[in-house]
């Protein structure tokens, strides 16, 4: 018996990375998964993986930053399933933009539109499907919503906003039996990382990964499935008394105030290389 048997889950940004891994895990645990993504073709590939493993899923196009697109998603889900049990607001984008005075306004607006506004819009139009029976909502924030990054103020603002928006939602809907939590990943090996810094086979991508492994206490990047299993906990009844929380899964980075001896003592780097 799966932990999500007979449940319907909607996952945005389910074509790749954490969203795709979570769709696979949710389906393995018995859920019927609506794989919503701006790329219908790639979302269909996720669905094919699920159905090949005996699970149930469908792919639906959605642009989470567009009101009409989200309304169409909500209409389709209501007509097809009537209700949902789990909503995973995972769709998001990221890109460096420079210091604030240099930051392109259109880039800031785009990141806020997809990451923060998209979380709001999808929640706004799908929560009505949860009001009668309750359920669980998970919003993807980031360790970058808890601390800042160089040249990424738009992403920091969006992800920080998601974390506090999650708390507001948790208060709003607790008496409706809807739990709302956020998941804050660290640096995870996903296609987004390839886009931002380069693939691991390329020099720039390798340097980035080596540096992250060095300063991460666990000595490596995270894996999408490791985030998916945290999302599974938040989606399932195992977390029935957890709401309004931000769960950080970052390999320990947020546990220290500064890298300290990691920058001075080479043994940290040597140990990171051994753990790979």
Q: How confident is the model over 222-253, as pLDDT tens digits?
A: 999 999 999 999 999 999 999 999 999 999 99
Distance CA 188, CA 191 (A): 9
The answer to whether position 274 is within a domain reads no
Distance CA 72, CA 61 (A): 9
- Is-catalytic flag, 155? yes
Distance CA 38, CA 90 (A): 12
The answer to whether position 132 is within a domain reads yes
The answer to whether position 269 is within a domain reads no
The answer to whether position 213 is within a domain reads no
Residue 38 pLDDT: 98
Please report, for the domain that includes residue 25, its CATH number. Answer: 3.40.50.720
Residue 168: Cβ-neighbour burial (10 angstroms; 0-12, 13-18, 19+): exposed
43, 36 contact by CB (below 8 A): yes
CA-based diameter of the chain, in Å?
Answer: 60
The answer to whether position 77 is within a domain reads yes
Greatest mean pLDDT among 125-134, 203-212, 262-271 lies in 125-134
Q: How many CB atoms lie within 10 A of CB 207?
A: 12
Half-sphere exposure of 114 (CA within 13 A, CB side): 19
Averaged pLDDT, 163-192: 95
The answer to whether position 208 is within a domain reads no
Give which of 80, 60, 83, 52 is closest to 13, Cα–Cα. Answer: 60
Q: How confident is the model over 103-160, as pLDDT tens digits?
A: 999 999 999 999 999 999 999 999 999 999 999 999 999 999 999 999 999 999 999 9
The answer to whether position 82 is within a domain reads yes
The answer to whether position 130 is within a domain reads yes
pTM, 2 dp:
0.93
33, 9 contact by CB (below 8 A): yes
Q: Give the single-character DSSP code of 30.
A: T
Q: Which of 90-94, 146-150, 184-188, 264-268 has the lowest mean pLDDT?
A: 264-268
Residue 90 pLDDT: 98
Q: How confident is the model over 154-177, as pLDDT tens digits?
A: 999 999 999 999 999 999 999 999
Check 155, 173, 241, 256 and give the catalytic one. Answer: 155
Q: Return the H-helix or E-strand segment holding 163.
A: helix 153-173
Residues forming a β-bridge with 248: 184
Domain residues for the domain of 182 are 8-197+222-257
Number of domains making up the chain = 1
């Amino acid at each position: 018996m799966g932990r999500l048997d007979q449940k319907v889950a909607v996952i945005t940004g389910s074509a790749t990375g954490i969203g795709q891994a979570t769709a696979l895990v949710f389906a393995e645990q018995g859920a019927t998964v609506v794989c919503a993504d701006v790329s219908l073709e790639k979302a269909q590939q996720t669905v094919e993986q699920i159905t090949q493993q005996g699970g149930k899923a469908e792919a639906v196009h959605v642009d989470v930053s567009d009101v009409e697109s989200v309304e169409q998603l909500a209409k389709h889900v209501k007509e097809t399933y009537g209700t949902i049990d789990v909503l995973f607001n995972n769709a998001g984008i990221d890109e460096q933009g420079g210091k604030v005075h240099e930051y392109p306004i259109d880039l800031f607006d785009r990141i806020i539109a997809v990451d923060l506004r998209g979380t709001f819009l999808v929640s706004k139009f799908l929560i009505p499907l949860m009001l009668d029976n309750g359920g669980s909502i998970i919003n993807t924030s980031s360790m970058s919503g808890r601390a800042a990054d160089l040249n990424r103020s738009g992403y920091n603002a969006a992800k920080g906003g998601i974390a506090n928006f999650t708390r507001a939602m948790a208060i709003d809907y607790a008496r409706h039996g809807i739990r709302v939590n956020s998941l804050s990943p660290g640096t995870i090996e996903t296609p987004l990382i390839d886009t931002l810094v380069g693939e691991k086979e390329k020099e720039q991508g390798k340097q980035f990964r080596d540096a992250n492994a060095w300063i991460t206490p666990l000595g490596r990047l995270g894996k999408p499935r490791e985030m998916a299993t945290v999302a599974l906990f938040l989606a399932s009844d195992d977390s029935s008394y957890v709401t309004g929380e931000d769960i950080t899964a970052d390999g320990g980075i947020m546990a220290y105030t500064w890298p300290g001896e990691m920058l001075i003592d080479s043994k940290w780097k040597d140990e990171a290389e051994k753990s790979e």
